[in-house]
Every structure is written in C-alpha cells, then in structure tokens.
Chains A and B, each alone.
Chain A
C-alpha cells in the first residue's frame, strides 16, 4: 500500500544543503507490523514525515494506495492524513488544554462529525487502549504511558489504514514501553492494522513481523 522509490530529501541550512535521504526505497504492505531501526540522525523521522504526508521529498516517487502523492494538493493531503493515517509521536503531542476524550475526538472534528458521535467513537477507542476511566483527565494528569495510550487511541479513532509511530517508547521506561509495544502487536494481530514503527531499540524491532535498517539515508532490507 505504501511504495517509496529512490526518495531524496535535502534541507537547506543557511548556505549549505544537507542531504538526509539519499535514495531510500521501501514498500510497506497491508497488515504489516514493520519496524525501522538506525542511528539517531540517520533520517528515520524525515522518512516517516514524508510517508505521513507532513513533508514532501526533494525527489523520488511516493505512491500511496496506487496514487502519486506528488500530484496532491493541501486538501487531498489533509484528507488522507485525517482518514488513512494515524500518528503516534515520541512526545505524545496531546493538546494540553483538552481532556483525553477531546484529544481522541479531535481528528473527527476535521471530518465534520457531530459532538455526540465524536465522543461515542472516542470512548470506544479509549476503551480499546484501556483508558476509558481517564476520559476526563487532561494530559498533565496522566503518566507518560497513559498519555501514549491516549495518543494511540487518537491515532485509531478515525479507522486509519496505517499507524505511523515515531519512537513511541522512546520517552517511556522499558516496562511501560513494552506495554505500549504489546498494545501495537495486539492491534496488528486482532484488527489487522498496518503499523510502521521507528525505534532504535532492537528488542522492540525484533517483536515486529519485519524490520529494516536505515543507514546514512539509505534503507537496507534485513
């Protein structure tokens, strides 16, 4: 469903151009739980941001469900982010002013779903991640692991085709990180959700159905 071919990405840092991705190619199939490992700064997040339509490659082709991403406008890209992609970040990125329930319901706001329906859907996914009893808590009142569960619920609420998780356990201790990983494995097995995880922890990567390595802007199949 995701096909990246010969992706290059450069950043302009003042007078110098830094090439971060140097011809990365990757295919992620439906229902996979795939990990990508590599040293810090090798370009994993950059690649994931391109996959998540938050950024555009400098060159190369990205095909999502058979459609060329390069031809899409802001409306198309936003719609795909909203309906087909769920993000999970290392720092959770919940909106601190909103309750867990409101945070989880937020993607549905941009679909024009009514409040009642939004909250119903949000409660269903909060239950799935075991956070329903905390629906009225604000992020600051939750532990890191709990916040990440809420963030996963938010990624799930719109029934996305793929979840992109950028070091989802990076800010958590090993035990809590493993719980989050167990949740991903369960969601992948039981619900068939495609999950793509960035990690630098081999113990995490080994639990995935497949993993690839990134080195110096290029992907090496395992």
Chain B
C-alpha cells in the first residue's frame, strides 16, 4: 500500500479543515483521556495499596464488629479480657490488640478542636508497625492513667502553638487533663491501619473506656502465626467468640482484603471504562461526521483520482488513513491529558506516581481502533462512488 503519500494527503486535508477536525478531536481526546486516566489511576492505586500491605505485612488480621441492621438483637459487648485471651485460645493467632475509638474535644491553652482518640493496648504499636518519634508508647503499667500518645496532626497543632517538644505537655481531652508521653511518627495509611493514628491521640484502652462508656471494643487488630490458613484462623476465632457468646464478629485477613480491593478496583475500572467508551463512541461519531463531510467535499477529487487509476482500495485506504490519523492525534492529546490528570490525582492523594506504559499502548491502540471503526463507513462510501458520477460532481 502507498502509505507515505496518503499520510501527507491526510495531514493536508485535516489541516485545511482545522475547525471541523478540532471539534471531532474533542470527543476522542476526552474519551482516550479518561480511559488513560482510569487505567493509570487504577494501576497507581493498586500498586499503592499493595505497597501498603507489603509494608504492614501479610499476616495482619482484623476482627471487627459487623454493623448489623438488626438492633433488637443486643449483642454482648467484647471486653478487654476476652479480646486479650484470643491468642491463648486460638493457636493460629500470635498477638491481638483490641481497640476502641471515640471523638471528642481536645483543648490546649484555650484552643479547642475535635479530634479522634483510640483506646489501645501496648501491643498496638508493634502490630501496626508504628514508630515512636519521641517519648514512649503506652505501657502495661499505664492502665487507667491519663497519659496519651499523639499523632502527627496533633503534634502539628501543638507546634503551631509553640510547642515543639510535646512530651510532658499537658492537654485536655474530653475535659480531662492528660499528659503527653510520646509522639508517633506519621504512618502511611491503608493496609488495615486505623486512620486515627495520624489524626488524633492514643490512650490506654481502660482510660478511654472510663472517659467514654459508649466506646466499645469494635475492632481487634492481630497477627497470625506462621502463615496460618485463612479458614483455620476464621474457624478458631469464631469458635472462641461464639463460646464467649459473642456473635457478629467478622475476621478479615490481609489476603482477603487484597482480593476484595482488587475486585473493587476491577469494578471501578469497568465503570470508568464504560464512561470512556461512551465518550469514545461520541468522539467516533464526530470523526465519522468529519470524514463524511470530507468525502462529500472531495467527491470531485475522488473522481479525478479514479480517472488517474486509483482503485477502490486506494480511495478506501486514503480516507481510512485520514480518520486513523485524526484519531491518533486525538489519542496522543488524550494520553497527555490522561497522564497529566493521573499525575495531579496522585500528587494530591500523595500516591507514588508512575506512568503505565501499558496504558499508553492501550491509548494508541484504542485510537487506531476508533479511527478504523468509525472511518470505514465514510471510506467505503468514498471508494464505492461511481468514477464518472464523482468526476461530474462539483
């Protein structure tokens, strides 16, 4: 096939019909842009989530209270002793750390703010792979003491008020004075870590339960022993909890969460893929329209070319090259926009940005496919024109 003259021809034709070409391009750019953004963001999120899980380790388990719609069935509440006894009763669990949370007023030098607080046990630190920046974490002997460990957000707040070394500082939480005994280094979120770690403060679990009688233990974060199988962990924990008359607790392993997240990711991809496809169809119809007008305007030219010996296939190819080229130009613009959008999203979401070369390949492939699919009809119309009728047209 005669590619080079056709490409030159196509460029000339598209440039000479700038306005029309640009209008048709918008749909393609949006369509391919959203496809690229979705694929890139999807893969960035997935990598990010996996990275977080890798950091947290794959032996993390959560045991959480299910939000049951049936409120009449008053479940017995989990207490510290029952929770702490889990490793003793379930051989597949190495350590377990129950925690409770509340949300209340934080006050320092007259400045008030509402922040979350976690009631935790000493093992919470290592299970969540947290690091102490200064001071120490909650200790076994701190039971019932009004001590707290602060997260990055609270440290920032205090620093804004001139406290750069917060250990030893006294603050008020829920109208009770407490002493800061340590500061946790900011930990990346995700991978089953409770978000309150960075956002609020941590107190001994028993202290929190004295401050807030409503704050029940709804979650236990634990680690399994030697890659115990999910089914075994679940059956051991469930057996123990039902023996304690505790129902409606759900065991989740890291593995399961990864699988679930990947499933959600797929759904997300499918959804955005649908949006992208719709834009592409709209863009494709725009391209088809441009090509039909181009064919109509150049009927005489088609007649001349046929008189000079162009076969039906040559004319078909000429117009197909034109529509594919139009779509590829839109495709590259869409790729640039899609990659740019995913960079911006990653920047604000603090994800590690990465260009997915697969998505660029996909963008080009989709552009070519749209060009061929929506260009074939106009190109066939051009090719099937009777040479003499085309030549006689004006």
CB pair A78 B388 closer than 8 Å: no
Residue of B nearest to A154 (CB): B308
Q: Main secondary structure on chain A at its contact with chain B?
A: helix
Bound Cα distance A149, B266 (Å)? 66
Q: Which of A97-116 contact B (CB under 8 A)?
A: 97, 106-107, 109-112, 115
CB pair A79 B312 closer than 8 Å: no
Which one, B251-259, B270-278, B298-306, is touching chain A? B298-306
Q: Which residues of B contact A175 (CB under 8 A)?
A: none
Q: Which of B366-385 contact A (CB under 8 A)?
A: none
CB pair A110 B307 closer than 8 Å: no
Bound Cα distance A112, B5 (Å)? 10
Residue of B nearest to A96 (CB): B301
Knowing A49-B388, A97-B16, A110-B314, the reply to whether A54 touches B307 (Cβ < 8 A) is yes
CB pair B388 A74 closer than 8 Å: no
Shortest distance in angstroms between A196's beta carbon and chain B's nearest beta carbon? Answer: 15
- Does any Cβ of B come within 8 Å of A213's Cβ? no
Q: Which residues of B contact A54 (CB under 8 A)?
A: 306-307, 387-388, 391
**Option from A95, A115, A154 in Cβ contact (under 8 Å) with B301:** A95
Q: Which residues of B contact A110 (CB under 8 A)?
A: 2, 305, 308-311, 314
Residue of A nearest to B312 (CB): A74
Q: Which residues of B contact A158 (CB under 8 A)?
A: 309
Q: Which residues of B contact A78 (CB under 8 A)?
A: 306, 309-312, 314
Bound Cα distance A199, B2 (Å)? 37
Shortest distance in angstroms between A92's beta carbon and chain B's nearest beta carbon? Answer: 10
CB pair B388 A81 closer than 8 Å: no
Bound Cα distance A106, B302 (Å)? 13
- Does any Cβ of B come within 8 Å of A52's Cβ? yes
Q: Which residues of A contact B314 (CB under 8 A)?
A: 78, 110
CB pair B308 A81 closer than 8 Å: yes
Knowing A54-B388, A95-B301, A112-B2, the reply to whether A106 touches B312 (Cβ < 8 A) is no
CB pair B309 A111 closer than 8 Å: yes
- Does any Cβ of B come within 8 Å of A55's Cβ? yes
- Does any Cβ of B come within 8 Å of A82's Cβ? yes
Q: Which of B1-42 contact A (CB under 8 A)?
A: 2, 4-5, 12-13, 16
Knowing A78-B311, A97-B12, the reply to whether A109 touches B5 (Cβ < 8 A) is yes
Residue of B nearest to A93 (CB): B304
Q: Which residues of A contact B388 (CB under 8 A)?
A: 49, 54-55
Q: B interface vs A, CB < 8 Å?
A: 2, 4-5, 12-13, 16, 300-301, 304-312, 314, 386-388, 391
Q: Given known contacts A55-B388, A107-B309, what 7 new A-B pairs fall within 8 Å (CB)?
A: A55-B386, A78-B306, A78-B312, A93-B307, A95-B304, A110-B309, A154-B308
Can you list 23 A-B pairs with a CB-CB distance of less than 8 A? A54-B306, A54-B387, A55-B386, A74-B311, A75-B311, A78-B306, A78-B314, A81-B309, A82-B309, A82-B310, A95-B301, A97-B12, A97-B13, A97-B16, A106-B308, A107-B309, A109-B2, A109-B5, A110-B305, A110-B308, A112-B2, A115-B4, A115-B5
